[in-house]
């Protein structure tokens, strides 16, 4: 069985009507509209524009495909179940973008013989990724949360905002924004068990600490390397299975600040700090606390009897349910 790593980002959707009134800065005043109004408009939009393959295009270069939908947040929808109506609470689909492949070709792994990528005259290539929308209530107020599997070259989930041009009013406006916490440490501070802390960073190849760790500061060893871009390393503090390693949660803020300083002073990139944590009767979940974004790093197992889309759907649904109570604290 093979694995593919991925990162799921969590966003919130805001819906408003643009008025003719002006703000002091000259922009138009926007009035927020209920999430239920968006849901009605979005379901109508999908039912009007999806074709027989449950797909629609917008702005000429983007596509949206609905793969599955359901009426219960806690139940995993079956692929092909597409009853889009007022009872719909979850939608799983793809967001794609046309790609120019004039500079792409196939090459035989053994002979290295090049071959053109064939397509019919009425076909185009696209790069896509998956999204999952959840409609539910937060303290009595309907909200829309979006889980988005980020993929290189695929469109960003914010492109969903372009769908506002297909709604019944030209004044409707969609905003797709990341869900953030006022303090990235806030969630961790409330967890009873913190089992591990992990820091990773990429340092320039001329960084002396990284050179010492990897041994490439020795002239004889350095000649063994070529085309080095970065030197990556990871430090992990890990406790016994299921055991808490911190008596004082305040140390987390100190760790975060020290890591930021270390990373900046050494021109590091791709830095991340995460911790595995949970409360009683919860799963152990990885929380990233270097920034304030809600993300979830995960592995997808493929090569099983289940199809790839089933695997992605199940994992994204699982991650949303794992983080649901935390997400609903900060979604607006």
Q: Tens digits of per-residue pLDDT, 84-141?
A: 998 999 999 999 999 887 788 889 999 999 888 888 888 888 999 999 999 988 777 7
**Binning pLDDT at 50, 70 and 90, where does residue 266 land?**
confident
Among 66-75, 273-282, 310-319, the minimum mean pLDDT is found in 273-282
More confident: 291 or 114: 114
Instruction: Collect all residues with Cβ–Cβ distance below 8 Å to 297 and sequence separation of at least 6.
Output: 5, 6, 7, 8, 274, 286, 288
DSSP 8-state assignment for residue 160: G
Note the pLDDT of residue 257. 79
Q: 122-132: per-residue pLDDT in tens?
A: 888 899 999 99
User: What percentage of the chain has pLDDT greater than the value 90?
Assistant: 23
Q: Which uninterrupted H or E stretch holds 20? A: strand 2-22
User: What percentage of the chain has pLDDT greater than the value 70?
Assistant: 90
Note the pLDDT of residue 162. 92
Instruction: Collect all residues with Cβ–Cβ distance below 8 Å to 57 and sequence separation of at least 6.
Output: 63, 64
At residue 248, does pLDDT exceed 90? no
Q: Where are the alpha helices (DSSP H) in the chain?
A: 35-49, 186-189, 208-214, 219-222, 251-265, 308-330
User: What's the rounded mean pLDDT across residues 320-330?
Assistant: 85
Q: Are 73 and 89 in contact (CB under 8 A)?
A: yes
- pTM reported for the whole predicted model: 0.72
| Of 283, 274, 267, residue with least CA distance to 322 | 283
């Amino acid at each position: 069985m093979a694995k593919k790593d991925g990162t799921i980002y969590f966003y919130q959707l805001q819906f408003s009507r643009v008025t003719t009134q002006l703000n002091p800065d000259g922009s138009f005043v926007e009035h927020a509209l209920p999430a239920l109004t968006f849901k009605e408009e979005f379901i109508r939009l999908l039912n009007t524009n999806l074709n027989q393959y449950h797909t629609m295009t917008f702005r000429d270069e983007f596509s949206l495909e609905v793969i599955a939908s359901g009426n219960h947040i806690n139940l995993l929808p079956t692929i092909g179940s597409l009853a889009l109506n007022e009872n719909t609470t979850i939608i799983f689909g793809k967001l794609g973008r046309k790609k120019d492949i004039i500079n792409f070709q196939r090459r035989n792994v053994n002979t290295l013989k090049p071959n053109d990528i064939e397509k019919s005259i009425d076909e185009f290539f696209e790069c896509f990724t998956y999204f999952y929308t959840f409609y539910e209530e937060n303290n009595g107020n309907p909200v829309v949360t979006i889980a988005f599997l980020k993929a290189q070259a695929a469109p960003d989930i914010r492109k969903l905002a372009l769908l506002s041009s297909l709604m019944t009013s030209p004044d409707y406006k969609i905003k797709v924004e990341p869900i953030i916490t006022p303090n990235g440490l806030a969630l961790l501070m409330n967890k009873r068990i913190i089992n591990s802390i992990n820091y990773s960073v990429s340092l320039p190849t001329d960084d002396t600490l990284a050179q010492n760790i990897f041994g490439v500061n020795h002239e004889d060893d350095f000649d063994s390397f070529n085309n080095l871009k970065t030197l990556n390393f990871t430090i992990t503090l890990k406790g016994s299975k299921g055991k808490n390693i911190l008596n004082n949660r305040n140390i987390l803020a100190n760790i975060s600040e020290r890591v930021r300083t270390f990373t900046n002073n050494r021109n590091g990139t791709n830095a991340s700090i995460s911790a595995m944590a949970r409360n009683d009767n919860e799963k152990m979940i990885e929380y990233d606390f270097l920034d304030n974004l809600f993300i979830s790093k995960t592995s997808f197992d493929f090569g099983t009897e289940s199809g790839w889309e089933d695997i992605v759907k199940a994992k994204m649904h699982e991650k949303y349910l794992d983080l649901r109570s935390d997400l609903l604290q900060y979604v607006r």
